[in-house]
Amino acid sequence: MATDVSKDGTKRHIDRIAAMQDYALYRDLSWEGTFEDYLDIVRKRPQVTRNAFQRVYDMIIGYGTEEYIDNKKKLVRYNFFKDELEGGRDAIFGLDIPLMSLVHVLRAASEGFGPEKRVILLHGPVGSSKSTIARLLKKGLEHYSRTPDGSLYTFRWKNLKDTGLAGKDAADGDIFPCPMHEEPLRLIPEAWRAKAIAELGLSNEHFKVKVDGDLDPACRFLFKHLLDRYQGDWAKVIENHVTIHRMLVSEKDRVGIGTFQPKDEKNQDSTELTGDINYRKIAEYGSDSDPRAFNFDGEFNIANRGIVEFVEVLKLDVAFLYDLLGASQEHKIKPKKFSQTDIDEVILGHTNEAEYKKLLNNDSWRPCATARSRSTSRTSRACRKRRASTRRTSTRIASRASTSPRTRSRSPRCGPCSRGSKTRRSTTCLCCRS
């Protein structure tokens, strides 16, 4: 028994295990505060407001790089891909050039040069570490969100019981976590957000705070109703009903990382990506267009501010690729019954080379292929190569098709027998000459 052990002067087993826990870290990770506290954090470290691409790029760069010369070319090796977190279990070797182009794409996206509007497609032969790269990025982001450099914050609504917005179900309590883990600065209405950021001096010389987009439908609903309740007093809504807390990215808890895997058509529809109606709550709230009666728990929803991975993306039904196009190009998704909702996430797909080539040869998938061809430099190169090879092939076919008539018309005719001469220089065919 535990008490007997204590009498012997030895520590209880439970105490020995408890001593291993890092309480300071726990307190740090479960930080909660007011909006005012959060503004102080942003003023000190504006990087907490980075978008998903900026965060992923900074995470990779944060591990450091090594430069080396190979075949007279300067190459960069990113330490991130050595998987030091797990002692090199998922380390990637010999792929420095493709990894460099991947990091370049992430860098361009983080600076808003265009790739942020594309799906990043990893393609290559079977067993060429596509899944491993995706796994490394997801794992890395989980760990990064637990470090001071990679910390990020979100909010939850509180004290909703008295407002009548919490619903009749007592189990719901009076707390409503933001379902898409939004950036708290999105609570400042878009009309005066940029001005507020400038006046409060939230940006510094290293990082300019820029928060785009609006709240998700559920938070917008609560915000609007609370604003009406306080006759438009924004400060009261924020002080009385908003708590900011740290967001810990976790694939298992479905926070900041989503994974979508193709299944058979009957078991899969687009609600898996953008969320579904909660039929139990329709009875409570009376309408299926009430955002409180909707689960914003699709893969795009939960992956907001992180990464969504599409495993074997080209095996997906075409219907899913339309959602993917909107999500990548517009950074918006369309949950059933609600307006378009802003998302901020890195969309990563992977596929093997055979599927990728099949896609390029499939005319009915051409629009998607064109969109993807702009996604990464590798893809663009592949596309250019394909176009060139198509040109070559068509030239070859055209020349083959035209060989006989043109050759006949151009090649000299044999004088005595008027048959086509075998050689271009001679005007008499071999049989007549002999």
Residue numbers 16-35 binding ligand ATP by CB under 6 A: none
Phi, psi of 258 (to 5 degrees): -125, 150
Our finding on whether 261 is near Mg ion (CB under 5 A) is no
92 binds ligand ATP (CB under 6 A): yes
Does the protein bind ligand ATP through residue 87 (CB under 6 A)?
no
- Candidate residues 36, 70, 88, 93; the one interacting with ligand ATP per rule CB under 6 A: 93
Pick 223 or 310: Cβ nearer Mg ion: 310
Contact map string, positions 373 to 392, toward Mg ion, x by CB under 5 A: --------------------
Choose the contact partner of 432 out of ligand ATP, Mg ion, none; CB within 5 to 8 A by kind. none
In sequence order, the β-bridge partners of residue 67 are 76
Burial 147-160 (b: 16+ CB within 10 A, else e): eeebbbbbbbbeeb
**Residues 6+ away with beta carbon under 8 Å from 356:** 121, 123, 314, 382
Judged by CB, which is closer to ligand ATP: 101, or 271?
101
Q: Which of 55, 82, 123, 130 binds ligand ATP (CB under 6 A)?
A: 130
Q: How far apart are CA 245 and CA 368, in angstroms?
A: 39
The only residue of 9, 87, 94, 286 in contact with ligand ATP, by rule CB under 6 A: 94
Q: Under the criterion CB under 6 A, does residue 128 sit at the interface with ligand ATP?
A: yes
Choice between 90 and 216, CB closer to ligand ATP:
90
Contacts to ligand ATP from residues 343-362, by CB under 6 A:
352
Shortest spacing between CB 253 and ligand ATP, in angstroms: 24
Residue from 9, 127, 232, 286 binding ligand ATP (CB under 6 A): 127
**C-alpha dihedral over 50, 54, 59, 60, to 10 degrees?**
-170
**Residue 91 or 371 with smaller CB distance to ligand ATP:** 91
Q: Which does 127 bind (CB under 5 to 8 A by kind): ligand ATP, Mg ion, none?
A: ligand ATP
Q: Which of residues 114-133 bind Mg ion (CB under 5 A)?
A: 131
Q: Which does 261 bind (CB under 5 to 8 A by kind): ligand ATP, Mg ion, none?
A: none
Q: Does residue 79 interact with ligand ATP by CB under 6 A?
A: no
The residue among 131 and 340 lying less far from Mg ion, judged by its C-beta, is: 131
- State in angstroms the smallest separation of the CB of 102 from ligand ATP: 13
Q: Which does 129 bind (CB under 5 to 8 A by kind): Mg ion, ligand ATP, none?
A: ligand ATP
Residue with the two structure tokens 């450099």: 149
Determine, following the binding rule CB under 6 A, whether residue 170 of this chain makes contact with ligand ATP.
no
Q: How many residues bind ligand ATP (CB under 6 A)?
A: 14
Task: Show contacts with Mg ion in window 130-149 (CB under 5 A).
Answer: 131
Nearer to ligand ATP, 133 or 244 (CB): 133
SS (H, E, C) the chain: CHHHHHHCCCCCHHHHHHCCCCHHHHHHHCCEECHHHHHHHHHHCHHHHCCHHHHHHHHHHHCCEEEEEECCEEEEEEHHHHCHHHCCCCCCCCCHHHHHHHHHHHHHHHCCCCHHHCCEEEEECCCCCHHHHHHHHHHHHHHHCCCCCCCCEEEEECCCHHHCCCCCCHHHCCCEECCCCCCHHHHCCHHHHHHHHHHCCCCCCCCCCCCCCCCCHHHHHHHHHHHHHCCCCHHHHHHHHEEEEECCCECCCCECEEEECCCCHHHCCCHHHHCEECHHHHHHHCCCCCHHHEECCCHHHHCCCCEEEECCHHHCCHHHHHHHHHHHHCCEECCCCCCCEECCCEEEEEEEHHHHHHHHHCHHHHHHHHHHHCCCHHHHHHHHHHHHHHHHHHHHHHHHHHHHHHHHHHCCECCCCCCECCCCCCCCCHHHHC
One of 131, 268, 278, 377 touching ligand ATP (CB under 6 A) = 131
The site partner of 95 among ligand ATP, Mg ion, none (C-beta below 5 to 8 Å per kind) is ligand ATP
Site for ligand ATP (CB under 6 A): which residue of 49, 132, 154, 259? Answer: 132
Regarding 97 and contact with ligand ATP (CB under 6 A), the answer is no
- Minimum gap (Å) between residue 43 Cβ and Mg ion: 43
The binding site for ligand ATP (CB under 6 A) comprises: 90, 92-95, 124, 126-132, 352
The binding site for Mg ion (CB under 5 A) comprises: 131
